[in-house]
Amino acid sequence: MPDDLLRHVIGPTPYSSLWLWLAIALSVLLVGWYAGVFLFTMPRRRLGTVPLVGAARDRMIRYRAARTVRAIGDRYRAGEMSAGAAGEAVSREVRRFLHQVTGVRAEFMQLDRIERSEISPAAPLLTNLVDIRFNPESTLDVGLVSRDAEELIRSWA
C-alpha cells in the first residue's frame, strides 16, 4: 500500500462531550430524587433528629412564623384588622410555632396547662393575647404584643 493513501485513513470518531454531561446531570437528578423521597416520607419526629436537616427545618419554621406575625402586626397597624382579630391570628401562629418546634400540642392547651409544660416561657405572651382577644377594654397594644411574639419566636431555643 502506498504511503500517500495513509493520509485518508483516520481513527475512530470521538464521542461528543454532551453525552458525558447528560450522564452526570441524570445521575445527580437520580440521587436528588431518592434523597427527596427519603426526606419527604420520613416521619416528622425522626426528621428533626437528622442534624443538618433538623437545623434547616427549625430555621425555616422560625423564619416563616416570625414573618407571619410581623405581617399580622403590620396589618393591624395599617388598620386592616381589629385588635381581637389580630390577637387571635398572632395567638394561632404562636401556638402553631410552638407545636411544630417542641411537639407539644399547644393549639389545644389551656393557659394553666401551658404554664406547667415545657413551653411555659410563652405563657405570659399567650395570656396577653387572650386578654386582647376577649377583653374589649384591654389596654394592651397589639402592635407591641406582636413584636413580643416575634421576639419570642426568634429567640426560642
Could you give the residue ranges of the DSSP H alpha helices within 78-116? Answer: 83-102, 111-115
How confident is the model over 74-120, as pLDDT tens digits? 999 999 999 999 999 999 999 999 998 888 898 899 989 999 999 99
The tens-digit pLDDT sequence of the chain (157 residues) is 566 776 777 777 778 899 999 999 999 999 999 988 887 776 655 555 667 777 777 888 899 999 999 999 999 999 999 999 999 999 999 999 999 888 889 889 998 999 999 999 999 999 999 999 998 888 888 889 999 999 999 998 7
Q: Which of 80, 121, 127 is nearest to 98 (CA)?
A: 121
Rounded to whole angstroms, the maximal C-alpha distance in the chain is 110
In this prediction the pTM is: 0.69
The cell for 42 is 420520613
User: Do residues 129 and 87 make contact, with C-beta atoms less than 8 angstroms apart?
Assistant: yes
